[in-house]
Amino acid sequence: MRRKLIAGNWKMNGSFASNEALLSELRAGLSAGAACDVLVCAPSPYLMQCANLLSGSDIGWGAQDVSVHLSGAYTGEVSAPMLSDCSCTYAIVGHSERRAYHGETDELVAQKTLRLLASGLKPIVCVGETLEQRELGQTNSVVSAQLRAVLDVIDVDALTNLVVAYEPVWAIGTGKTATPQMAQDVHAVLRQQLALKNPPVAEKVQILYGGSMKPENAQELLAMPDIDGGLIGGAALKAADFLAIIQAA
């Protein structure tokens, strides 16, 4: 059985004071030896704060993006080795907001994935369709193309360090949620695609759901056979809600 992963994506939120309060509540509320993996993905300026406050705990920390470049004259960029220096274990790539607001292509996401793997970090590769694409019946072809771009450039052995997150764009921050069966159907398609690369390893890859998972729907979503956790947005900023989702896992 695959171990669940509950990953909080803080997006562009937080302050030193509010982060300390949140992380303190999470540490206090998380029982030792939690039955799932727990992760917070913080803005880059707060990664060392996470390292300082979470060291020795069962909560990991990661980044929300990474540069495709290793170093050089790229003002404002943060490289994979820099994230490694902050003791990050994961980083999100290809989030729908990066694709929509920053024009990130499938090919760029694939190159970022390679950078993370080369630095020993686990990429959380996001895929998902818009409402228009879903209504046109293009969901499976869209998410498959996004994942294929990554699978085409990584080695078979690297699959063991990959995490995939399905985030229906139409269900992020809108209050809408895919039904558990709708989410499971897409997760199953992604699992089948991973199996084309390496069938045994595909069964071990965690596929997270990233479409407004909340305490109210977490248990039903996480009961689906191919939903291995959640990439949590707004609920990750409230300790009680995030802990409730962890408990559901």
* E strands, 89-213, in order: 90-93, 122-127, 163-166, 206-209
What b-and-e string marks burial along 170-205, b requiring 16 or more CB atoms within 10 Å of the CB?
bbbeeeebbebebbbebbbbbbebbeebbeebbeeb
Both tokens of 169, joined, read 């764009």
| Active-site option among 97, 104, 129, 167 | 167
Distance CA(239)–CA(176), nearest Å, equals 22
Active site residue 25: no
* Dist. CA 20–CA 5, nearest whole Å: 22
The residue from 95, 104, 129, 187 that is catalytic is 95
DSSP 153: T
- C-alpha separations of 230 from 18, 38, 77, 99, 236 in Å: 23, 10, 27, 20, 10
Distance CA 176, CA 159 (A): 31
CB-CB neighbours of 225 under 10 Å: 10
Q: List, by residue number, the catalytic residues.
A: 95, 167
